[in-house]
Amino acid sequence: MPVIKPTCVRDLKLRVNLADVVSRVVTLRKAGGTRLKGLCPFHNEKTPSFHVDPDKGFFKCFGCGKAGDVISFVRETEQLGFTEAVEAIGKRFGVVIEYEEGSGGPSREERSLRQEIFDLHEVAADHLHQAFLAADDTGTYFRSYWTDRRRFPLEIASEFKIGATDAAGSGLGAVLLRRKFSEEALRKCGLFFIYDDATLTLGALRPRFRGRLMIPIRDHQGRVVAFTARQTDRTPEDDPAREAKYVNSPETPVFTKGNLLFNLDRARTVVGDGRPFVLVEGQLDALRCWSVGLKTAIAPQGTSITESQLVLLRRYHPQVECFFDSDAAGQKAALRFLPMALKAGLEVRFFTLAGAAKLDPDLLFLERGLAAYEEVRRAALSAMEFACRAAVPDPAQASSELRTRAAQSVYEVIAAAESEVARAAFVAEVAGHLRLSAPAAERDFRSYLLRLQRSGPRVPTGSEAQAPAATGGPGTPRLPPPTPEHHLLLLCLHYESLGKPLSHAIQHDWVDTSPAHTAGRLLNRFLGEFEHDTWPGRDHLDSLLETPDERALVASLLFEAPSIDDPVKVAQEGLRQLRARALEPRLRQIELALANPHADSDSDPISLLKERSELQRQLRVPVVLTTTA
């Protein structure tokens, strides 16, 4: 099945006017500004409530709530899959569709452009490595940065062709022009910001990476396809990304960051029985592992890990051991990762360090070498152990009610696994960890699956979309009520500067991320991006949206700019609601147990009193969002 490039999808959406596509199906009239409206094709109505904003590229029906972009419009009205819809639009509007290599039919011109960009990166990596080795001021600075600040041996720099750029870009543009790379390759390689000149001269090539340590990124075949650039003292003030510690190449015809894992080209040749992949957070962590002899370490490209990366991994070896920070953010990332890993069929183990707030593989291996690996391995947790602990840290002390609820949250993870056999084994393991009876756990899991099937995302049929709903006017299907997650998601999209402070203020277990709650899942994911400074900006969310439901919700939220006087206040109210929803039910439960001391044999009054005062304390703390702006 051919896979269309994300860059091509983005391009298509920019070039095709949504109004031209919709007007083949719906008669559109002016609706103020550049907006248009007409009768909704998705539900039955007599007065038009279907709005199209061609500037933003979104449609939204204020009657039934259906919203989306040009691709979802064609999918839904013509009953096509994603790829077919993109191809149909491309054909209609004369846009050439580009496919990922090895997945379909890229044209010969395209293949040669890709080859040229591979060659260009090889030349660039060599040139920048020579700059790193040079006897001049730049070389001297970067070598000492490497050996003294990062504490890596020089041999590792040579092995991985670590490079350097001075504040002017180390003359890379001139080198590449001399090597006669085509204008198109120079424009598309991602190493330069280019003025849209008619002729490409040296002056038009502004280097993207200046004053940074350059780490070449190779695809799984070992070809350099991009760079990650580490900020240093030499990074100049006028670098547009001055504050970013790491800057990656943008996506190019040869680089899709969600499809690539750093060091996979080498690690895949070393993995085997007893030598699983080791997943670390960043490229330098992976290099640290390599330098102490742990050669199976891999890292995502500065973003959270994606499903396609895990599928790629599974191709080579089914076992992966993971370093995630043991703080709340790390747990959040781990719990997002786990269902994807199970779905890909990977066997996962988690490294944790008792008592350590942060399990930093860089520091750990730097100080203690390979011996530390054997040690963390002995204390590693299985996937289910990890998920159970995240839900209830100390099952021996928890009430049966709490343990049953914890199991429910782990069932969500288990449901992602495709294999029935694996699921059954996981449920049995969870019952053991949470001290529940195994047959009861099996029954609970089966009924969880049934509920999931009933409430899970489904494709509405024509008759369903037109059926009158239980409430609301005739022909107006009911919309789910907005939740605090919904409001916070809206804020993140329209007041992006609130994203980072929110990511610090919200604890991951406050957010409802159940499969039916699209807003919660998205909020959780977006906060992760804000937290790690990888938020791509609200106009570039395609790579973060995984399902049609998610796309529709974001389209709907982006469609209308909310009129909010004080967004910080609204954010704080949302936070307060999340916190109350997370903590108050437990508080009520405790009060009940304290009022009926003999009803629940599980509970010891002293620990209940302690828990109550802790919950009361947490609920009393005023919600204050610290914004820098």
- Our CB check for Zn ion shows the closer of 57 and 63 to be 63
Nearer to Zn ion, 65 or 104 (CB): 65
Least distance CB 495 / Zn ion (angstroms): 28
Candidate segments 57-65, 174-182, 289-297, 427-435, binder of Zn ion by CB under 5 A: 57-65
Which of residues 5, 43, 143, 508 is near Zn ion by CB under 5 A?
43
Nearer to Zn ion, 47 or 221 (CB): 47
Tokens, residue 142: 């970067």
Residues in Cβ contact with 547 at an 8 Å cutoff, skipping those fewer than 6 apart: 457, 518
| Tokens found for residue 470 | 């239980």
**Helices marked H in 379-419 — which ranges?**
383-391, 400-414
> Shortest approach of Zn ion to residue 40 CB, angstroms?
3
Q: Which of 16, 22, 61, 279 binds Zn ion (CB under 5 A)?
A: 61
Q: How far is the CB of 50 from Zn ion (least distance, A)?
A: 6
Give the residue, chosen from 38, 48, 63, 515, that forms a contact with Zn ion under the rule CB under 5 A: 63
Nearer to Zn ion, 63 or 190 (CB): 63
- Position 614, amino acid: E
Map tokens 């504050």 to a residue. 243
Pick the piece of the chain touching Zn ion (CB under 5 A) from 33-41, 194-202, 210-218, 311-319: 33-41
- Block residue for tokens 């080198």: 175
Nearest-approach distance from CB 476 to Zn ion, in angstroms? 8
Sequence letter at residue 112: S
Strand partners, 218: 224
Q: Cβ of residue 201: shortest distance to Zn ion, in angstroms?
A: 53
Element housing 141 (H / E): helix 137-144
Return the SS3 of 456: coil
**In whole angstroms, how close is the CB of 52 to Zn ion at the nearest point?**
12
Judged by CB under 5 A, the residue of 4, 42, 121, 329 near Zn ion is 42
Counting every residue, how long is the chain? 629
Residues near Zn ion (CB under 5 A), total: 6
Judged by CB under 5 A, which stretch of 1-9, 30-38, 56-64, 330-338 contacts Zn ion?
A: 56-64
Amino acid at 500: K
User: N- to C-terminal Cα distance for the chain?
Assistant: 47
The two structure tokens encoding residue 414: 């288990």
Report helix, strand or coil for 319.
strand
Residue 156 CA from chain centroid, whole number: 30
Residue 76 or residue 285: which is nearer to Zn ion going by CB?
A: 76
Quote the least distance from Cβ 18 to Zn ion, whole Å.
16
CA distances from 549 to 88, 170, 202, 459, 553 (A): 21, 46, 46, 10, 6
Q: Which residues pair with 226 in a beta bridge?
A: 217
Contact between 335 and Zn ion by CB under 5 A: the answer reads: no
All residues at 6 or more sequence positions from 319 whose CB lies less than 8 Å from its CB, including other chains: 271, 276, 277, 346, 347, 349
Residue 43 identity: H
Contact 246, 282 (CB under 8 A): yes
Task: Pick the piece of the chain touching Zn ion (CB under 5 A) from 53-61, 147-155, 283-291, 337-345.
Answer: 53-61
Helix (H, G, I), strand (E, B) or coil at 535: coil
Q: With binding defined as CB under 5 A, does residue 40 bind Zn ion?
A: yes
- Which of 282/477 has CB closer to Zn ion? 477
Of residues 61 and 229, the one with the C-beta less far from Zn ion: 61
| Closest CB to Zn ion among residues 43, 257 | 43
**Interacting positions 209-248 with Zn ion (CB under 5 A):** none
Binding test (CB under 5 A) with Zn ion, winner from 21, 22, 52, 64: 64
For Zn ion, the closer CB: 459 or 629: 459
Site residues (CB under 5 A) for Zn ion? 40, 42-43, 61, 63-64
